[in-house]
Amino acid sequence: MKLLLSLLFSALIASVGVFCTSPGNEPTNQNKLSAKENFQKYCAGCHGQKMERFAGNTWEAFKAGKDLTPVIKSGLPVLGMPSFEKAFTESEMKAISDYILEMKDKKETPTATQFPAVIRSKHQAFKIDTVAKGLDVPWGMAFLPDGDMLVTERSGQLFRFGGGKLKAIISGVPEVFAQGQGGLLDIVLHPKYQQNGWIYISYSKKGPGGVGSNTAIIRAKLRDNQLVDQQEIFKAIPNPTTAHHYGCRMVFDDQGYLYFGVGERGESSNAQTLTNHCGKIHRIFDDGRIPPDNPFVNTPGAMPSIYSYGHRNPQGIDIHPISRRIYNNEHGPRGGDEINLVGKGNNYGWPVITFGINYDGTIITKETAKEGMEQPVFQWTPSIGPSSMKFVIGDRYPGWKGDILSGSLSFRYLERVHLEGDKVTEQEKLLENAGRVRNVTISPDGYIYVSVESPGVVVKLVPVN
């Protein structure tokens, strides 16, 4: 498959971890496509068929420009957009630039997909109930005991919805570094929330003196729609100036440990280096203390919170409903998105082994396996841009029970993956063309909720049996 080409500095591109497609490492476009065809074939997967993802300040920054060729040619490394100088000729890049600028005033405001009254998948029928509207990038969701839903907006706001309506904008949210993939990220409640009231929030935080940024986690309590008693329990180092690959989904296990992923921040070597937090899955106590049996607590110079390493950009994490083991999904580069069974002290290989290649079509490594490095349970090539993952639990969806649901940012659907042991035996696309599926979770009463970008909505999947 052709490389995912990223043309512009956009919040969408920064949010994905896979970019728009590029025709490979040949110096010219061998198919001789028109600029429109190139955009539709290589760029629309990220920017939208109608350019709906060129929006807000991102779009305004380019609206005054006369030529986008330089940014296509040189890329924007700070946001993870590589150079595409080897992918297209100068004339092809100029033609793509002209097409984008020509179409800028014709782009349409995205509208929510209209689904049938009842959707019938292979094993489960369901209908769609929209429970939250008016959002942009709804990144994380958590449910309060009274049934209200907390939704994080990547730009830095925390909303409270109930009864299908916005009830409050929560104050006291920490200042976030809302650039690229950065911003307000995940939110989870402590397993004993009704006893202790702790809410956990991950976000991208500026480094000392406002230089650089990295992933941080706080815990706080909710009082009168305000976050109070805030405590920072984790802050990743170093603080690179890039604005992508932050992670950071979180999950508590049965023993009360908090697991979460931090991306390698666009520097692949970080993932194989134990002296930083990047490209790792971490495990800590609920107050930020380090478990004494973490695998590298006695390794000189190693970050003691590290549980596993060799990850690229972990975007989903959950516990298997039967084995109770930790699984994660993560972005590969061009190809090689993965589902992994996360093991204590394991090395998952990035960038020494991978099923993907560079965005400009060049080879990262010819190795897909190596002694001492783990193989994924499953890998997606081409990349789907996995955004989150959740095992289906309970009895509301008997046809999907035990399956993994994973959002696709690139292809705008919810993917169902069926496991037999540790082997994937079936895949199915759900909610096709719903939009960029950012998050999937399950409420305490067993219903599946999915958040979607462009437009930003949260929907509930109501089973029809």
If residue 285 lies in a helix (H) or strand (E), which one and from where to where? none
Q: What distance in Å separates the CA atoms of residue 152 and residue 240, rounded to the nearest whole number?
A: 24
Q: How many alpha carbons fall within 13 Å on the CB side of residue 1?
A: 20
**Cα–Cα distance for residue pair 435/430, rounded to 1 Å:** 11
Q: Is 245 a catalytic residue?
A: yes
List CB contacts of 192: < 8 A, sequence separation 6 or more. none
Q: How many Å apart are CA 92 and CA 73, to the nearest integer?
A: 11
CB 187 within 8 A of CB 198: no
Please pick, among 47, 190, 244, 245, the residue that the annotation labels catalytic: 245
Sequence-distant (≥ 6) Cβ neighbours of residue 380 within 8 angstroms: 332, 335, 336, 337, 338, 386
| 232, two tokens | 């920072």
| DSSP code for 125 | E
CA distance 242 to 225: 33
Q: Are 141 and 187 in contact (CB under 8 A)?
A: yes
The Cα 425–Cα 422 span in angstroms is 9
What tokens appear for 99 in the block?
């097409």
Peptide bond preceding 463 in cis form (omega within 30 of 0):
no
Q: Known catalytic residues?
A: 245
